[in-house]
Amino acid sequence: MSTLRLGDTAPNFTAETSLGTLNFYDYLGDAWGILFSHPADFTPVCTTELGTAAKFSEEFSKRNVKMMALSVDGAESHQEWIKDINETQQTTVNFPIVADKDKTVSNLYDMIHPKADNNLTVRSVFIIAPDKTIKLMLTYPASTGRNFYELLRVIDSLQLTAYHKVATPANWKNGEDVVVSPAIGTAEAKTIFSKGVKEIKPYLRMTPDPTV
């Protein structure tokens, strides 16, 4: 199996989940998607992560992003774990968790890293565009919980830069100034971006967020 890279088509799959049997592509439809894996059910960091994901579900929905989680335990185990997540994190998990006992999806997405653990998935994150291409991949060790504010920030950047000729600078947040794409000259940029272009260097031009 070849390693997935940015720009590759996200592999499709049909799997049993906490919400029944789902086909990944059908589930996503025309939306953006985020697929994230968890080492195992009933683990402390994962419990906080899934609770946080549930609390962020409205923010993901605003951005037309559908979430799907994965763990190598079964659907029955997921159902019991969800009860714990809802109780301890004071939320309601309303997105599917793939039951990947045979590790089919984990191997399809290269979520198992033998030098970390031969049996459990690492904390992988894949953000997938509506055309089913992979736009972002992140891998965390099992001991480090993910930052969901960062995942929202990245999605904002990906969606902005998908439709406008800009890039986002370090620590950028939604609504802040953006970088003019190096592919267009300053004169052309000034005709495209009506809010103005500030040339700091010939290769570094800033403009207000065109969506604000």
Positions marked active-site: 46
Residue with tokens 């683990």: 43
Residue 132 backbone class (left: φ over 0; alpha: ψ -120 to 50; beta: rest): left
Distance CA 36, CA 109 (A): 10
Distance CA 121, CA 72 (A): 7
With residue 75 as reference, give the H or E element that holds it.
helix 75-89
Residue with tokens 């960062």: 150
Residue 196 backbone class (left: φ over 0; alpha: ψ -120 to 50; beta: rest): left
